Amino acid sequence: MAEEKDIIIRLDHISKSFGDKKVLDDISFYVKRGEFMTFLGPSGCGKTTMLRLIAGFGKPDEGTVTMEGKVINDVPPYQRKLNTVFQRYALFPHLDVYDNVAFGLKLQKVPEDEIEKRVKKVLKLVSMSDYEDRDVESLSGGQQQRVAIARALINQPRVLLLDEPLAALDLKMRKDMQIELKEMHKKLGITFIYVTHDQEEALTLSDTIVVMNEGKIQQIGTPIDIYNEPVNAFVADFIGESNILKGRMIRDRRVAFIKHEFDCVDEGFGEDVKVDVVVRPEDIYFTTDPAKCQFKAKVNSCIFKGVHYEMWVDTDTGYELMIQDYDPYPVGSEVMLYIDPDDIQVMKKEREANTYAGKVTGEGKVEFLDTEFNCDTTGFQTGDEVVATIRFEKVDLLDHEEEADLTGNVVFILYMGDHYHLTVKTEAGENIWVDTNDIWDKGDFVGIKILPEDIQLSKPVTVHE
Amino acid sequence: MNKRSSWALPYFIFMVLFVVLPLVMILLYALQDGSGHFTFANITKFFTDKDALSTFALSIEVAIENTLLCILIGYPTAYILADNKLNRSAVTVVLFILPMWVNALMRTLATAELFSMAGVPLGKGTLLFGMCYDYLPFMIYPIYNQLKKMDKSYAEAAQDLGATPGQVFRKVTLPLSMPGVWSGVMMVFMPTVSTFAISEFLTNNKIKLFGTIIQENINNSMWNYGAALSLIMLLIILITTLLQGDDKQEETSGALI
Residue B181: which CATH number? 1.10.3720.10
Quick check: is B185 in a domain?
yes
Contact A103 B160 (CB under 8 A): no
Chain B residues with CB-CB distance to A86 below 8 A: 153, 156-157
CA neighbor of A375 nearest in space, from A383, A366, A367, A384:
A366
The reply to whether residue B176 touches residue A152, judged by beta carbons under 8 angstroms, is: no
Asked if B181 is an interface residue toward chain A (Cβ–Cβ < 8 A), one would say: no
In a mutational test of the B interface, the residue from A78, A147, A153, A161 whose CB has the highest number of chain B CBs within 10 Å is A78
pLDDT value for B253: 42
Mutate to test the interface with A, among B161, B181, B251 (most CBs of A within 10 A): B161
Give chain B's domain count.
1
B247 and chain A in contact, CB less than 8 A: no
Task: Please answer whether residues A62 and A28 qualify as being in contact, where contact means their C-beta atoms are separated by less than 8 angstroms.
Answer: no
Under an 8 A CB cutoff, do A107 and B159 touch? no
pTM of the model: 0.81
Test A90 with B171 for CB contact under 8 angstroms: no
CB pairs under 8 A between A and B: 58
In Å, how far is A137's CA from the nearest CA of chain B? 13
Q: Is B150 on the interface with A (CB under 8 A)?
A: no
β-partners of residue A256 are: A248, A261
Tell which of A18, A52, A82, A86 to mutate to test the B interface (max B CBs under 10 Å): A86
Strands A216-221 and A62-67: what pairing? unpaired
Tell me whether B204 touches chain A (CB under 8 Å): no
Per-residue confidence (pLDDT) for residue A462, from 0 to 100: 66
CA distance A346 to B112: 85
Distance from CA of A459 to the nearest CA of B (A): 48
Architecture in CATH for domain A240-348: Beta Barrel (2.40)
ipTM of the complex: 0.78
Range of the domain at B201: 56-248
A27/A46 Cα distance (integer angstroms)? 10
Answer whether residue B28 is part of any domain.
no
By the 8 A CB rule, do A59 and A15 touch?
no
User: Looking at beta carbons, which residues of chain B come within 8 Å of A56?
Assistant: 159-160
Inter-chain contact A86–B157, Cβ cutoff 8 Å? yes
Contact between residue B194 and residue B211 where contact means Cβ atoms under 8 Å apart: yes
Does B167 sit within 8 Å of A86, measured CB to CB? no
Residue spans per domain, chain A: 4-233, 240-348, 354-458
pLDDT at position A422, please?
92
CA distance B89 to A99: 37
**pLDDT number for residue B256:** 40
Q: Is B159 on the interface with A (CB under 8 A)?
A: yes
Chain B residue with Cα closest to A157: B161
CATH top-level class of A354-458: mainly beta
| C-alpha distance from residue B113 to each of A237, A317, B106, B110, B192 (Å) | 75, 93, 10, 5, 21
Instruction: Report yes or no: B149 at the A interface, CB cutoff 8 Å.
Output: no
Is B191 among the domain residues? yes
- Compute the nearest-CA separation of B84 from chain A (Å): 15
Q: Which of B5, B56, B13 is nearest to B229 (CA)?
A: B56
CATH fold match for the domains A240-348 and A354-458? yes
pLDDT for res B87: 79
pLDDT category of residue B42 using cuts at 50, 70 and 90: confident
A90 closest CB neighbour out of B157, B162, B163: B157
According to the model, what pLDDT value does residue B252 have? 41
Whether the CB of A109 is below 8 Å from some CB of chain B: the reply is: no
Q: What's the CA angle centered on B26, arms B256 and B104, to 5 degrees?
A: 40
Q: Does A440 touch chain B (CB under 8 A)?
A: no
A4-233 CATH pick, 1.10.10.10, 3.40.190.10, 3.40.50.300, 3.30.1320.10: 3.40.50.300
| Domain annotation covers residue B41 | no
Phi first, then psi: give them for residue A204, nearest 5 degrees.
-70, -45
Q: How high is the mean pLDDT of chain B?
A: 86
Q: Is A378 helix (H, G, I), strand (E, B) or coil?
A: coil
Distance in angstroms (rounded) separating the CA atoms of residues A108 and B163: 9
Per mean pLDDT, which range of A235-239, B77-81, B190-194 is the poorest? B190-194
Q: List the single residue in B with minimal CA-CA distance to A154.
A: B161
Interface test with A, best of B85, B160, B169, B182 (most A CBs within 10 A): B160
Q: Report the DSSP pairing between strands A344-348 and A273-279.
A: antiparallel
Q: Are B172 and B138 in contact (CB under 8 A)?
A: no
β strands within A305-369, DSSP E: 309-315, 320-325, 334-339, 344-348, 354-362, 365-368
Q: Could you tell me the CA-to-CA distances from A110 to A81, A85, A102, A147 in Å, in that order?
A: 17, 22, 10, 20
CB-based contact, A103 to chain B, within 8 Å: yes
Rg (CA), chain B: 22
pLDDT in tens, chain A (465 residues): 567 788 999 999 999 999 888 899 999 999 999 999 999 999 889 999 999 999 999 999 999 999 999 999 999 999 999 999 998 889 999 999 999 999 999 999 999 999 999 999 999 999 899 999 999 999 998 899 999 999 999 999 999 999 999 988 888 888 999 999 999 999 999 999 999 999 999 999 999 999 999 899 999 999 999 999 999 889 999 998 899 999 999 999 999 999 999 999 999 898 999 999 999 999 999 999 999 999 999 999 999 999 999 999 999 999 999 999 999 999 999 999 999 999 999 998 888 899 999 999 988 899 998 888 998 888 888 888 999 999 999 999 998 888 889 999 998 899 998 899 999 999 888 899 999 999 999 889 999 999 999 999 988 876 554
User: How far is residue A267's CA from residue A460's CA, in Å, rounded to a whole number?
Assistant: 31
When CB atoms are compared, the residue of A55, A88, A94 closest to B160 is: A55
Comparing alpha-carbon positions, the chain A residue that sits nearest to B171 is A103
